[in-house]
C-alpha cells in the first residue's frame, strides 16, 4: 500500500481563512497530480462566494443549458492542460472523437484568423481584459467539450470555468465585454499558482494557455507531461504559491 504524507492547505479570503488537509502520496508525481487539489479548492471558494451574494439577496443566473460563457477564451495552466488530455482519453469513444473533431475545427478557424501565435504567447498589457480574448469571443467558437449548451465534463471542468458565475440576467452574457455583466467576486484563479509552480520546476516563464489549443500545446510538450518530481516536494511548492497569492491576514 502506498505511503502518504499529510499537508495542510490554507487559503486566505475576504471572509476568512479556508483550511483543509490533503493526503499526498510519497513517490513521483506529475504536474497534473496537483490539479485535483486545485479543482477542489476552487469549488470550495466558488461555493463560498456564491453563498455570500445569495445572502445579499441576489441569485446566480448560471444554469445548465446556458453555454454563452463557453465561447470565451478559457485560460488554463500547463498542469490543467495535461489533466484535460487525460480527461479526453477517458471519454467514451464516440464522445472523444467528437471533441477531437471540434479541436481540429477550432484550430482551423484560429489559423485563418492568424491568432494562434498570440494566443499561445499573449503580449504583456495593462488592459483588464486581453484584446485577443474579445477577438476570440467574436469568433463564437464553442468549447470542444460543450454538449447541447452544457458542459460535457462538468465534474472535471477547469479552474477558470469553476470560478465564473454571474448574477446579471443570462441574456447579457451574449455580450460579456459590454460592461453589463455582474460577475460573482472571486480571487485570482488557482490556475495562476499552478502556472507559477510549473515555471519554478522547469525554469520557464509562467504561462497560461487557451483551452482551445490544449492538444496542440500538449503535443509540443509531451516530455513535460510524463516528467515527474518528488510528490510531497512538488505539492509543497504549490502550497507555497497558494500562500503568496492568498495570504492569511495574520501571515501576510
The predicted pLDDT at position 252 comes to 47
The predicted pLDDT at position 221 comes to 96
Q: Map out the domains of the chain as residue ranges.
A: 4-251
Contacts of 205 by beta carbon, 8 Å cutoff, 6+ apart: 199
Buried b (16+ CB within 10 A) or exposed e, 192-211: bbbbbbbbeeeeeebbbbbb
The predicted pLDDT at position 128 comes to 52
Min mean pLDDT across 78-82, 126-130, 178-182, 241-245 is at: 126-130
Task: Please state the pTM of the whole predicted model.
Answer: 0.91
pLDDT, the chain, mean: 89
Whether 179 has a pLDDT exceeding 80, the answer reads no
Amino acid at each position: 500500500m502506498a505511503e502518504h504524507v499529510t499537508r495542510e492547505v490554507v487559503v486566505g479570503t475576504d471572509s476568512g481563512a479556508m483550511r483543509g488537509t490533503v493526503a499526498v502520496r510519497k513517490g513521483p508525481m506529475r504536474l497534473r497530480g496537483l490539479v485535483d487539489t486545485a479543482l477542489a479548492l476552487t469549488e470550495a471558494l466558488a461555493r463560498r462566494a456564491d453563498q455570500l451574494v445569495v445572502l445579499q439577496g441576489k441569485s446566480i443566473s448560471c444554469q445548465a443549458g446556458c453555454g454563452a460563457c463557453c465561447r470565451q477564451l478559457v485560460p488554463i495552466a500547463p498542469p490543467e492542460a495535461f489533466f484535460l488530455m487525460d480527461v479526453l482519453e477517458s471519454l467514451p469513444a464516440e464522445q472523444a472523437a467528437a471533441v477531437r473533431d471540434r479541436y481540429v475545427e477550432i484550430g482551423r478557424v484560429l489559423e485563418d484568423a492568424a491568432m494562434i501565435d498570440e494566443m499561445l504567447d499573449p503580449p504583456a498589457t495593462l488592459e483588464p481584459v486581453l484584446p485577443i480574448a474579445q477577438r476570440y469571443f467574436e469568433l463564437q467558437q464553442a468549447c470542444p467539450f460543450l454538449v447541447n449548451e452544457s458542459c460535457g465534463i462538468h465534474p472535471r471542468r477547469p479552474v477558470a470555468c469553476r470560478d465564473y458565475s454571474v448574477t446579471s440576467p443570462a441574456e447579457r452574457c451574449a455580450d460579456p465585454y459590454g460592461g453589463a455583466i455582474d460577475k460573482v467576486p472571486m480571487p485570482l484563479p488557482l490556475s495562476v499558482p499552478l502556472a507559477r509552480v510549473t515555471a519554478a520546476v522547469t525554469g520557464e516563464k509562467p504561462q497560461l494557455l487557451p483551452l482551445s489549443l490544449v492538444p496542440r500545446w500538449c503535443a509540443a510538450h509531451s516530455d513535460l507531461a510524463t516528467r515527474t518530481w518528488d510528490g510531497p516536494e512538488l505539492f509543497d511548492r504549490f502550497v507555497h504559491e497558494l500562500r503568496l497569492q492568498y495570504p492569511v491576514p495574520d501571515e501576510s
